[in-house]
Amino acid sequence: MPLWKIYHPVNAFSDVDKKGIAQAITSVYQNFMPRFYVGVTFQEVSESNIYIGGEPHSEFIRISIDHIARTFQSVDLKITFFNRINTLLEPWIESRGYDWEMHVDETPFDLWTIQGHFPPQEGTPDERRWMEENRASARTHA
């Protein structure tokens, strides 16, 4: 799964913005994994609760991304991913004048379950079924 945690100033994003951001993020992954793997959480942070360099920073957005379903296989893929994300988020973040930072953590695939099921391996019939049904279910293949 990719789980995105977006820490942002209070009222930085409307509900429409949040849905647009979540849909845009999901579009990055939907061609090679089930859409329901993608989680996006928004956490408002009040002005007195975000400090950068020891000073309050009311116009800062921090994005933390956990990747489990897939990991980057090369430096080129990492660069491509970050460039795509920077472009994708630009209308909501950079163009609105926010400073921002993000990182990706990669967790081993075998340390993850979803709805109590161990996810199928990439490219397997079970994964294709999960993509088509957009939900987790018992695996039918090893």
Asked if residue 128 lies in contact with residue 121, where contact means CB atoms within 8 angstroms, the answer is no
CA distances from 124 to 91, 95, 141 (A): 36, 40, 8
- Predicted structure pTM score: 0.93
Query: Backbone phi, then psi, for 60, in 5-degree steps?
Result: -125, 140
At 63-104, the pLDDT tens digits run 999 999 999 999 999 999 999 999 999 999 999 999 999 999
Q: All domains of the chain, ordered by start, with CATH?
A: 2-133 (3.30.429.10)
Determine phi and psi for 105, rounding to 5 degrees. Answer: -105, 145
